[in-house]
Amino acid sequence: MNEQSPPEEQPQRDAPAEAASAPQQPQPEQQAAEEAFQQEKQHLEKQRQQLQAEAERLRRDVELMREVALRAQADLENYRKRVQREQEEERRFAELALIRDLLPVCDNLEHALQAARKTQDVESLIQGFQMVAQQLQQVLRQHHCQRLHPHGEPFDPHHHEAVATQPHEQHPPQTVIQVLRPGYKLHDRVIRPAQVIVSQGPDKGDVSQQSPSSPQAASPAEESDGQG
């Protein structure tokens, strides 16, 4: 009979494979580095989200400021156009108040003319026209227009226009002795100077008249030329 030999021991070839398949425990340094990396990653991600939110907020603010600037520009343009229209209206109707006040004067003048055609009373006609003239002067005064009638006043080249000079016994030289046409002044500006005749002072034998802008007495040389 054949004797059975004892079983041979199997060589332990599976031990290295089992050792290779078993998970390796990380080293403490690697674990700490991994945790630091994850923390840094989370921190950077949080910063990225914050920056993204800040950028979105700034974008909305810029868009809002842009809309505000556009509205302000549109309002400014509308205001400029409105002011321009108002200025044009003021220029067109600047004389409205004066014309409105002059209309009653025109009505009274027409009434006076109609009455003049129907009456022979000259004195009443004169009184009527005098009333119209006084009414007209009152309207001018209401609109700050002052009448210049400088009889007896010193000659002023800024307000008066001398058309002649005459000797006068009662008024000294450079004095207005006659007003040929009254002047008018609006506020402080002369609209039309008064045309006047200015005194030369007492008559010294020269009765000639002059028409200077600033009246002066004739020099002795001119008098001798005139006598010659």
pLDDT in tens, the chain (228 residues): 445 555 555 555 555 555 555 555 567 788 888 888 888 888 898 889 999 999 999 999 999 999 999 999 999 999 999 999 999 999 998 888 999 999 999 999 998 888 888 888 888 888 889 999 999 999 999 999 999 999 999 999 999 999 999 999 899 999 999 999 999 999 999 999 999 999 998 877 544 444 444 444 433 333 434 343
Amino acid 136: pLDDT: 93
The count of C-alpha atoms lying within 13 angstroms of the C-alpha of 205, restricted to the half-sphere facing its C-beta, is: 7
Q: Which CATH number fits domain 147-207: 3.40.1160.10, 3.30.450.30, 3.40.1190.10, 2.30.22.10?
A: 2.30.22.10
How many Å apart are CA 30 and CA 6, to the nearest integer? 51
Amino acid 115: pLDDT: 86
How many Å apart are CA 174 and CA 166, to the nearest integer? 10
Amino acid 140: pLDDT: 93
149-170 CB burial, b ≥16 within 10 A, e <16: ebeeeebeeebbbbbbbbbbee
Amino acid 8: pLDDT: 54
Amino acid 21: pLDDT: 53
Candidates 209, 216, 222; CA nearest to 155 is 216
Q: What are the extents of the domains in the chain? A: 34-94, 99-142, 147-207
Amino acid 18: pLDDT: 52
Amino acid 9: pLDDT: 53
The count of C-alpha atoms lying within 13 angstroms of the C-alpha of 71, restricted to the half-sphere facing its C-beta, is: 6
Collapsed DSSP state (helix, strand, coil) of residue 81: helix
pTM attached to this predicted model: 0.55
Burial bucket for residue 176 (CB in 10 Å: 0-12, 13-18, 19+): buried
Amino acid 4: pLDDT: 53
List the structure tokens of 208.
């000639």
Burial bucket for residue 215 (CB in 10 Å: 0-12, 13-18, 19+): buried
